[in-house]
Structure 1
Amino acid sequence: MEDKVATKVEEELPEVMTEYMVDMSCEGCVKNVKNKLQTVDGIKSVDVDLSNQVVRIFGSSPVKTMTEALEQTGRKARLIGQGLPGEVMISAAVAEFKGPQIFGVVRLTQVSMELARIEANFSGLSPGKHGWSINEFGDLTRGAASTGKLYNPAKQQISEEKALGDLGTLEVDEKGEAFFSGVKKNLKIADLIGRAIAVYESEDRSDAGLAAAVIARSAGVGENYKKLCTCDGTTIWEATDSDYVSSKV
């Protein structure tokens, strides 16, 4: 019997559709992928489009868990879309931290008008607790220091002490890695495009900040089936293995 893939989750995540481009060439590949994903907690259904090399997963399982399960089949996999089928509004966004010291990806998905799903992974941080937040501006000229105050639109204050943009604390392990999965009420993805996510040295965000990344619109379900890089025309499967390291994608 295959081992189930597991990861620590802050709380149960809302169900969404997640699409991956997966390196598959035959029905045997399809069977192996489906069999593996069926061992993952939180996955409700799996649909595979072999002609487009696309795997569609519906459920509450975190991205990290699904990605690890796909990679355990020996195939390269890249997330290409996430959201709710049929949605016409901006339902997904991403912020990418590209180094040179801190790498990471933060994915935000709108699951209802009043709720957003947030997943993040980081590497290169010092062990311990670090504050992180959504800030007003996407100005990275001085890193996190130029991204402004906490994002806190009118009438959306969670409490007197906590603004809507406060994402709490990242728990960083001895390897310098941190993973987060959770939800945020009253957060609307469409209003975040062009703002920034910042990570701080201190838990209370009293320092200037370690790194920041601009929040950009991300592909929703069915919006990104391209197999060629728009930069140089390279086929997606001809990329190097380092392109698929989760902390640097």
Structure 2
Amino acid sequence: MSSQIELAVQMTCTSCVKAVRDSLNIPGVSNVVINLENNSVVVDTTLTTSEVLRHLESSGKKAVVKGYAGSLAAVAILDVSKHIQGVVRLVQINSETCVIDGTVDGLKPGKHGLFIHESGDLSNGCNSVGECYIPNNHQPDELNRVYGNLGTITADDHGRATFRFEDKVIDLSNIIGRSLVITEHPDNVNSGKKLTCGIIARSSGLFQNPKTICACDGVSIWDERNKPKSTL
């Protein structure tokens, strides 16, 4: 299922618009709306966000994600581990479907588990996030799916896992403030090593993020994107 992503793209002229449009003339992108005045690009796509950014920036223009179309959007920044870093975005695009889109670096090549856990408490790292989340009223489906088990992600030979899939079980409104966890093995629901985790925090929907200057330090969104994590 296609979803809409809003991006801020650093454009100054009509030739920039052409370069951006040409960079997105690719399979998996069905529609591109560009507003030069607002430095805005809205894309209908079935690609991962990282793929869209990679193609867009092949035009030579900087780009930053600003929002997603849907009734609710959230993001989990996975940075508890110094060696494993990633961003996972979740968008409730309709009442039955949540799109989960992420890129994680630093994993051991192979398959890993992706889970929702009960708590957003990271005071003791991933050891304080509680059990795999299962609502009291949840009835297992025909596959006996555990509610908080989002499935398997696969890291390539360089340790990067890039994924985008649709989940028909979770309701994003139920998991805001909980945590997203990556495990060493894909079948470890409540046991085994947790590699990294992050709080699932509400994020901007389409056209809900007017930010051009970061209020915390006064730098532009372009400079903010390039700052080291340790200084944010």
Q: Which residue of 2 aligns with 1:97?
A: 78
Question: Is there any run of 5+ residues in structure 2 with no aligned partner, and where?
Answer: none
Deviation readout 1:178-237 (Å, 9 max, x if unpaired)? 111111003211111100001112232231412110000010000112111121010123
Distance 2:210 2:4 in 1: 15
Q: Which residue of 1 aligns with 2:21?
A: 34
SS state of the match for residue 20, structure 2? helix
Amino acid at match of 2:217: D
Instruction: Determine which of 148, 159, 162 is the counterpart of 1:165.
Output: 148
Q: Which residue of 2 aligns with 1:53?
A: 39
Cα pair 1:143 1:210 within 8 Å, conserved: no
Amino acid at match of 2:3: V
Cα pair 1:229 1:235 within 8 Å, conserved: yes
Structure 1 residues 238 and 64: CA distance shift in structure 2, 3 A = closer
* Alignment partner of 1:107 is 2:84: no
Shift, 1:162, TM fit:
2.5
SS state of the match for residue 150, structure 1? coil
Shift, 1:150, TM fit:
1.5
Give the TM-score taking structure 1 as reference length.
Answer: 0.84
Structure 1 residues 179 and 61: CA distance shift in structure 2, 3 A = closer
Instruction: Determine which of 173, 181, 188 is the counterpart of 1:198.
Output: 181
Distance 2:149 2:227 in 1: 32
Structure 1 residues 238 and 45: CA distance shift in structure 2, 3 A = same
Distance 2:78 2:124 in 1: 15
Cα pair 1:40 1:66 within 8 Å, conserved: no
Distance 2:227 2:2 in 1: 30
Shift, 1:156, TM fit:
4.0
Amino acid at match of 1:137: S
Greater CA drift, 201-210 or 42-51? 201-210
SS state of the match for residue 21, structure 2? helix
* Alignment partner of 1:176 is 2:165: no
Structure 1 residues 162 and 62: CA distance shift in structure 2, 3 A = same
Give the TM-score taking structure 2 as reference length.
Answer: 0.90
Q: Which residue of 1 aligns with 2:121?
A: 139
SS state of the match for residue 8, structure 2? strand
Shift, 1:159, TM fit:
4.7
Q: Which residue of 2 aligns with 1:152?
A: 134
Q: Runs of 4 or more off by more than 6 Å in structure 1?
A: none
Structure 1 vs Structure 2: percent identity of aligned residues? 35
Cα pair 2:177 2:201 within 8 Å, conserved: yes
Deviation readout 1:61-93 (Å, 9 max, x if unpaired)? 321221111010011111110114xxxx4x111
Distance 1:143 1:220 in 2: 29
Distance 2:87 2:141 in 1: 25
Amino acid at match of 1:236: I
Distance 1:202 1:237 in 2: 37
Cα pair 2:111 2:185 within 8 Å, conserved: yes
Distance 1:122 1:242 in 2: 18
* Alignment partner of 1:116 is 2:98: yes
Q: Which residue of 2 aligns with 1:69?
A: 55
| Aligned residue pair count | 226
Structure 1 residues 243 and 63: CA distance shift in structure 2, 3 A = farther
Distance 2:166 2:139 in 1: 16
Cα pair 1:103 1:123 within 8 Å, conserved: yes
SS state of the match for residue 210, structure 1? strand
Distance 1:243 1:53 in 2: 24
SS state of the match for residue 164, structure 2? strand
